[in-house]
């Protein structure tokens, strides 16, 4: 009986006690979904223009809406920009839902990348979840302020595109921390994601790539150049179009494997690149071949192998001769397999003239049905 009385006395206390002293009302928080960094309106008064894409909760009965808005502030740091933005908002700014960082072309060419994202690097839990993209011929604010076809927020578009990037060979997807890790391992050289904003269209086009050298944006790669480079650095599926005389054939790569074999000969470095692929002949234009004939299959395999090898050599020439920057990752192979020799090399001087041999083998596993 006494136990029952004690329990009755405790019940009011349990009901009145809050479940969590740190529970925050989401209606008092302004969630930042994307951050953009650009050259400021007046470079003499501030270092950056920082744009915040903020979630705007809208009742579902009001129908389709962008569900976000953007504000920009000129500041000397991201944290200062947050303070300036906070001064005009009735809700407390939170970066806990931040999903994308967008960097404009002008600021990426001007500023050291480490300085641009210093604040975000100090928040490891935050950095782990971020998409990173560099926008060509536009400002980051322009991208964050677009109205999308399928998604209600541009950041959702960027995140969604990343989910199926392995199926598309003409784009480069590199998350925030992976990109920064690439920069650190190569003293400021890396191969990152590019976005375009076609004029007159409310869409974000993800193709091509951004090349960094000495911690700054140095060049852009178009979609063909990215497909060529991705034979060496990505696991993307690819579509190869090969031409012979007036005939055109399309090969869809379903599986591929790329290996680097570093070689040191009397102190001189070189590397052997081996690429193997398996796929399916998807299209033929012009002369139709009887692909049930093993000789014709072999002929097609050699044609596709030659085409892929030429793409790879083009990517290597771009990296070595034009940009003189090893964003293709050959230094990683040397560091892993020839660590002692690598320590003696001045890689930035050695790489542009280092011999690189390419071997490609293609296998056709299927060719569909055709009358």
Instruction: Return d(Cα 114, Cα 103) in angstroms, integer.
Output: 13
Task: Classify residue 234 by burial, with Cβ atoms within 10 Å: 0-12, 13-18, 19+.
Answer: buried
245 and 144, same structural domain? Answer: no
Give a yes or no: residue 12 inside a domain: no
More confident residue, 124 or 37: 37
With respect to residue 15, please indicate whether it lies within any of the assigned structural domains. Answer: no
Domain identity same for 179 and 270: no
What is 220-241 written as a DSSP string? EE-HHHHHHHHHHH----EEEE
Q: Which of 200, 221, 242 is the last residue of a domain?
A: 221
CATH number, domain containing residue 350 = 3.30.300.210
52 and 104 in a single domain? The answer is: yes
| pLDDT, greater one: 18 or 228 | 228
Q: Distance (Å, rounded) from C-alpha 301 to C-alpha 278? A: 10
Residue numbers of the domain that contains 365: 222-371
What pLDDT does residue 23 have?
43
> For 165, which DSSP code?
G
Give the SS3 label for residue 303: helix
Residues 30 and 114 in one domain: yes
pLDDT in tens, 301-331: 999 999 999 999 999 999 999 999 999 999 9
Residues 113 and 165 in one domain: yes
Summarize pLDDT for 173-208 with one digit per residue, the tens.
888 999 999 999 999 999 999 999 888 777 788 889
Domain boundary among 203, 221, 239: 221
Is residue 178 located within the same domain as residue 234? no
> Do 240 and 213 belong to one domain?
no
Number of domains in the chain: 2
Tell me how far apart the alpha carbons of residues 253 and 243 are, in angstroms, rounded to a whole number. 17
Tally helices (H) and strands (E) across the chain. Answer: 14, 13
| Residue 6 burial (CB count, 10 A) | 9
Picking from 178, 206, 221, the residue at the C-terminal end of a domain is: 221
Residue 107 counted as domain residue:
yes
- Same domain assignment for residues 57 and 98: yes
For residue 135, name the pLDDT band (cuts at 50, 70, 90).
very high
The residues with which 176 forms a beta bridge, in sequence order, are none
Q: Give the pLDDT band of residue 22 (cuts 50, 70, 90).
A: very low
Indicate if 167 and 229 belong to the same structural domain. Answer: no
Which region among 12-16, 25-29, 93-97, 207-211 has the lowest average model confidence (pLDDT)? 12-16
Selection from 359, 250, 255, 252 nearest residue 312 by Cα? 359
How many CB atoms sit inside 10 A of residue 303's CB? Answer: 18
In the numeric block, the tokens 């190569």 are attached to: 186
d(CA 145, CA 52): 10
Tens of pLDDT, residue by residue over 51-90, are 999 988 765 555 445 588 999 999 999 999 999 999 999 9
């Amino acid at each position: 009986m006494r136990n029952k009385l004690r329990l009755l006395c405790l019940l009011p206390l349990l009901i009145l006690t809050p479940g969590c002293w740190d529970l925050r009302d989401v209606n008092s928080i302004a969630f930042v979904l994307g951050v953009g960094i650009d050259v400021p309106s007046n470079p003499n008064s501030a270092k950056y223009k920082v744009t915040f894409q903020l979630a705007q909760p809208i009742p579902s009965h009001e129908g389709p809406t962008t569900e976000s808005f953007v504000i920009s502030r000129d500041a000397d740091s991201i944290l200062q920009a947050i303070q300036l933005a906070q001064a005009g908002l009735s809700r407390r700014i939170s970066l806990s839902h931040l999903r994308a960082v967008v960097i404009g072309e002008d600021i990426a060419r001007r500023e050291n990348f480490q300085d641009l994202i210093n604040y975000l690097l100090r928040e490891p839990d935050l950095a782990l979840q971020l998409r990173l993209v560099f926008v060509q011929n536009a400002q980051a604010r322009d991208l964050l302020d677009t109205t999308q076809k399928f998604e209600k927020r541009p950041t959702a578009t960027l995140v969604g595109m990343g989910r199926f990037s392995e199926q598309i060979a003409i784009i480069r997807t590199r998350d925030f921390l992976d990109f920064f890790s690439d920069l650190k391992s190569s003293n400021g050289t890396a191969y990152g994601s590019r976005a375009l904003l076609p004029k007159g269209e409310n869409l974000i086009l993800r193709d091509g790539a951004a090349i960094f050298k000495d911690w700054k944006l140095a060049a852009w790669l178009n979609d063909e150049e990215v497909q060529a480079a991705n034979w060496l650095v990505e696991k993307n599926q690819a579509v190869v179009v090969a031409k012979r005389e007036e005939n055109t054939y399309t090969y869809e790569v379903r599986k591929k494997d790329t290996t680097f074999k570093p070689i040191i000969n009397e102190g001189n470095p070189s590397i052997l690149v081996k690429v193997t692929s398996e796929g399916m002949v998807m299209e033929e234009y012009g002369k139709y071949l009887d692909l049930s004939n093993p000789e014709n299959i072999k002929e097609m395999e050699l044609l596709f192998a030659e085409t892929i090898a030429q793409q790879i050599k083009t990517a290597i020439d771009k990296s070595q001769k034009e940009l003189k920057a090893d964003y293709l990752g050959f230094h990683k192979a040397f560091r892993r397999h020839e660590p002692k020799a690598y320590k003696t090399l001045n890689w930035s001087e050695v790489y542009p003239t280092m011999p690189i041999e390419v071997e490609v083998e293609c296998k056709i596993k299927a060719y569909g049905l055709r009358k």
